[in-house]
């Protein structure tokens, strides 16, 4: 079977008797520390690799109930939905789908969604991100995501969901990133242990995709 990644992309190498292996430095790491937030784009840029974002879908429509719940708006309310593909050089990194409440979406053109991006465009129009709620899960690429990432259907991907909340504690945007698992990792830094330590960390809630993929 031909490997998913091509040697010409500089991500795989082969050695006699060892088969295929991932080249060191082919993935990117994003540090996550309490009290700070860094976009993946910053991590890639710091690695000295160009990052390009291409909008593949842009439009307004009824919002799935799961998305509406996170954005604290009524079900089926119209929102702006944007889907984009990000590449490092010529190689896909992730597919990101974003939703913005209608009341905040007017200044965001398709060109703005591509560059400088939705969150930065919101910031430039006075909508500051005070808190980012982030969840991480493993999932499999749907046909749509697989086509964009140029991998087989059901390839493992890292689903990172980010909910941006403003200073008034109201959600202003929701994004779902589907990263190629072999090309991206998230690093978490914990600042100390609670004064009253427990044997086990708190339980976790199940994570389901808010997007109806197809």
User: Which of 11-15, 31-35, 95-99 has the lowest average pLDDT?
Assistant: 11-15
* Core vs surface per residue 84-108: b (16+ CB within 10 A) or e: bbbbbeebbbbbbbbbbbeebbeeb
Q: How much is the pLDDT for 181?
A: 82
Q: How much is the pLDDT for 175?
A: 97
User: Is residue 152 predicted with pLDDT exceeding 50?
Assistant: yes
Q: How much is the pLDDT for 178?
A: 96
User: Which of 32-41, 77-86, 134-143 has the lowest average pLDDT?
Assistant: 32-41
Q: What are the angstrom distances between the C-alpha of 56 and each of 3, 84, 197? A: 26, 5, 47
Q: How confident is the model at residue 211 (pLDDT cuts 50, 70, 90)?
A: low
Sorted by where each begins, the domain ranges of the chain are 30-189
Stronger pLDDT, 89 or 64, i.e. the higher one:
64
Q: How much is the pLDDT for 208?
A: 57
Q: What is the pTM of this model?
A: 0.73
Q: How much is the pLDDT for 90?
A: 86
Half-sphere exposure of 179 (CA within 13 A, CB side): 22
CA dist., res. 179 & res. 107, Å (int): 28
Q: Specify the fold of 30-189.
A: Chorismate lyase (3.40.1410)
Q: How much is the pLDDT for 210?
A: 60
User: Is residue 40 predicted with pLDDT exceeding 80?
Assistant: no
Stronger pLDDT, 12 or 129, i.e. the higher one:
129
β-strand 184-189 against 131-140: which pairing, if any?
Answer: unpaired
When pLDDT is averaged across residues 124-147 and rounded to a whole number, the result is: 93
């Amino acid at each position: 079977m031909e490997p998913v990644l091509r040697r010409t992309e500089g991500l795989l190498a082969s050695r006699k008797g060892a088969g295929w292996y991932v080249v060191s430095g082919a993935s990117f790491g994003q540090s996550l520390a309490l009290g700070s937030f860094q976009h993946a784009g910053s991590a890639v840029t710091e690695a000295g690799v160009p990052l390009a974002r291409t909008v593949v879908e842009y439009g307004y429509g009824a919002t799935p109930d799961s998305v509406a719940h996170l954005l604290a708006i009524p079900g089926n309310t119209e929102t702006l939905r944007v889907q984009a593909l990000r590449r490092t050089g010529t190689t896909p990194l992730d597919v990101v789908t974003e939703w913005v409440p209608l009341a905040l979406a007017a200044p965001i053109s398709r060109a703005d969604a591509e560059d400088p991006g939705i969150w930065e465009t919101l910031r430039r129009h006075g909508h500051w991100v005070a808190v980012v709620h982030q969840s991480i899960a493993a999932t499999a690429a749907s046909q749509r995501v697989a086509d964009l990432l140029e991998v087989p259907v059901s390839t493992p991907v890292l689903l990172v969901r980010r909910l941006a909340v403003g200073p008034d504690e109201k959600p202003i945007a929701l994004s779902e990133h589907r990263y190629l698992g072999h090309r991206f990792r998230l690093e978490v830094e914990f600042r100390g242990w609670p004064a009253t330590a427990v044997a086990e960390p708190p339980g976790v809630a199940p994570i389901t995709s808010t997007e109806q993929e197809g």
